[in-house]
Amino acid sequence: MEVFISKEIQAGLDAARRANLRKASRLRIDLNGRLIKVLLMWENGFAVAHEDAPDLRGLVDLYDGAHHLFQCLIVGREEQHGEVHYTFKRGAPVTDHAGLDFEGAVSVPVGIIGKSRF
């Protein structure tokens, strides 16, 4: 049995789904001080509502609330069902310290055991 849904009803369902995703998602992109809500994120991309979607290319910062998650290098854009799907080539996690450019010693002591009183 095939179910037929009119275009108006389908558009309303899609808009309701996007509104629900927009409320539930904490993910955001910071684009020169303008925060854009991310509806969905997957391994090498994310989706933004069509009405919020700028023409993104290059390096963007992805946040979860106030926590800076990734710096993403965007390489592709595709529009589907009122959403814009961006593909990124590289999603580098952001850390609070610089990466090491040398290999640490393997047998470094973790701690010192003090003298026992007994």
Has residue 33 been placed in a domain?
A: yes
Has residue 114 been placed in a domain?
A: no
CA distances for 55 relative to 43, 74, 78, 85, 87, angstroms: 21, 10, 11, 11, 12
Cβ(60)–Cβ(29) below 8 Å: yes
Q: Which region among 16-20, 91-95, 109-113 has the lowest average model confidence (pLDDT)? A: 16-20
Count of structural domains within the chain: 1
Has residue 117 been placed in a domain?
A: no
Has residue 104 been placed in a domain?
A: no
pLDDT of residue 81: 75
Has residue 32 been placed in a domain?
A: yes
In this prediction, residues 82-107 reach a mean pLDDT of: 76
- CATH assignment of the domain containing 89: 2.40.10
Neighbours of 9 (CB within 10 A): 10
Has residue 14 been placed in a domain?
A: no
Q: What does the pLDDT look like over 17-40, one tens digit per residue? A: 666 656 656 788 887 778 888 888
The whole domain housing 84 covers 27-93
Phi, psi of 42 (to 5 degrees): -135, -170
